[in-house]
Chains A and B, each alone.
Chain A
């Protein structure tokens, strides 16, 4: 298994541009999450999904959108990039085999908005 795969690894955007951060997992996990991490800080939850067709907001959803059309993929969309969205973005997934299953994280997408 490749685990959680995020693309691209790095991206530079101009203010107002849009882009989609891709996240895919091959572990048949039904729960998936998007986090952002600003320098020197812990991760903050942007959006999450408990299964295909179901998404919900996390702590910092403004400026982002998500979709979950398949179990494997959970893309994160930035419509109008702003400098405040400069961050490292992490995708994670878990399965509900037991109620305490750990999350598995991808290696992140480093985004700079100038």
Chain B
């Protein structure tokens, strides 16, 4: 699985949009970009994933560049409860090229939402 690069930490004001960048310049054509977050040592929580197109759900939006070498997770109106470590992970589809679906975690970005 391709590696990702994320800033170690970011701050965001409550109520503002949080934009978390991720670089995955070695991503392969069939690899998906996943975002998870981990709040204070709880289990990682799935946020969103995408392949090529931008994606949006009730939690966040995912913007993937046209060349797929980077992406941005957007939390449109950050709250204090969004303070967490955010992980950007690239993963091949299950059963493709030996992939068994596991996620390879880096150190992520620690997002601090401040009042």
Contacts and interface: CB of A to CB of B under 8 A. Distances in A.
A103 B101 contact: yes
The contact size tier of chain A is 20 to 34
Given A88-B41, A106-B43, A96 B105 contact: no
Contacts of A96: 94-95, 101
A96 B44 CA distance: 20
B41 A108 contact: yes
The contact size tier of chain B is 20 to 34
Contact of A42 (B32, B100, B106): B106
B96 A99 contact: yes
Nearest to B106: A42
Nearest to A45: B102
Interface string A86-101: 0010101010100111
Given A48-B100, A58-B102, A94-B101, A42 B43 contact: no
Contacts, number: 68
A50 B108 CA distance: 27
B107 interface: yes
A31 interface: yes
23 contacts: A31-B100, A33-B102, A41-B107, A43-B44, A43-B103, A43-B105, A58-B102, A90-B43, A90-B44, A96-B94, A96-B95, A99-B96, A100-B91, A100-B94, A102-B46, A103-B44, A103-B101, A103-B103, A104-B46, A105-B44, A105-B45, A107-B42, A110-B41
